[in-house]
Amino acid sequence: MGNPFYSDPHHLQYIEGDEFSAALSVDLSFLPSEPNNSRQDTICNIVSEKKVLHIGCTDHLPVIDEKILSGRHLHTALLEVCEKVIGVDIDQPSLDHLAQKHGISDIYNVNLVTTPSESIPFSDEAPFEYAIMGEIVEHLDDPVQFLSQLRIEHGSLFNRLIVTVPNAFNHNVLKQWSKGTEIINSDHRFWFSPYTITRVLSASGYQVESIQMADVSQRMDIFSRACNRILATFGSKKRLRVPQRYGATVIVVATK
């Protein structure tokens, strides 16, 4: 494994905007070849038994019930493993649904861009050990402006920030792209990579502490499946796996 690019002095010159290259080569060998957990499990492992501020806590209203039923609703999962969770969103119908149908409390309609720090209703709970923005940044018209404002206006609320974004080089996305099709959430404004989300966070005044990939598809081609069956027949523990860098999700932990 190589050294992570976000802590390498050479790459930091580019991340911080002091140097420019039209063809910067970013070494991703620091990412393990074996797949990681799902996005939800990875986040829950990081914040287990911690105090957490969950920004964008509701999810899309039409999918909330199905996700809760199947165990894939992040806020509900956080409630199971964290010491304390406060949720923030600006989608009032979804907040009402979580409160009224699922009995979830400590969730607030607060716009963290426009609300001054003295008007935050849960400020007495601060500092939270982590703030989480799961699959939020790609929906924003101006991610740097939002993340900067969050740090400047509300940085005292949390110690570390976890940001997850969709990986532009997701294995399934690339397969569809090769067929001439882009499969995307219609509300997304951006695709990201480990470098570009690091660049966005740096421009917003944060320092990346760690990067993981999650949600790695293991849908293999015919050759790989055949090789895996042969390896299994001989009792080998080795398998041909899709490398972690092709996971659907980039998970970044950053400090202010």
Res 216: pLDDT? 81
Q: Number of helices (H) and strands (E), helices first, in the chain?
A: 9, 7
Beta strand pairing status for 158-166 and 84-89? Answer: unpaired
* Average pLDDT in the chain: 91
Which pLDDT belongs to residue 113? Answer: 86
> Can you tell me the mean pLDDT for 182-195?
94
Please tell me the total count of domains within the chain. Answer: 1
Does residue 34 have a pLDDT over 80? Answer: no
**Quick one: which of 84, 12, 73, 15 has its CA closest to 39?**
73
Cα separation, 199 vs 214, in Å, equals 20
**0.75 exceeded by pTM:** yes
Model pLDDT, residue 86: 98
pLDDT of 119-175, one tens digit each? 999 999 999 999 999 999 999 999 999 999 999 999 999 999 999 999 999 988 998
Q: Which of 44, 72, 37, 30 is nearest to 247 (CA)?
A: 37
How far is 142 from 162, CA to CA, in rounded Å? 18
Residues in the chain: 256
23 near 57, Cβ under 8 Å?
A: no
Looking at residue 18, which CATH number applies to its domain? 3.40.50.150
pLDDT, tens digit, 9 for 90 and up, residues 190-230: 999 999 999 999 999 999 999 999 988 755 566 666 666 66
> Whole-angstrom Cα distance, residue 175 to residue 165?
19
Check whether 110 has a pLDDT greater than 60: yes
The pLDDT of residue 37 is 77
Kindly report which listed range (4-18, 23-37, 214-228) carries the lowest average pLDDT score.
214-228
Per-residue pLDDT at 172: 86
> Is residue 240 over pLDDT 60?
no
What confidence score (pLDDT) does residue 171 get? 85
Query: Nearest CA to 95 among 87, 137, 121?
Result: 87
Q: At what angle do helices 74-81 and 39-47 cross, to 10 degrees?
A: 30
- State residue 121's pLDDT score: 94
Beta strand extents in 66-137 (DSSP E only)? 84-89, 107-109, 128-134
For residues 213 and 247, is the Cβ–Cβ distance under 8 A? yes
- pLDDT at position 178, please? 92
Boundaries of domain holding 182: 5-255
Residue scoring higher pLDDT (237 or 33): 33
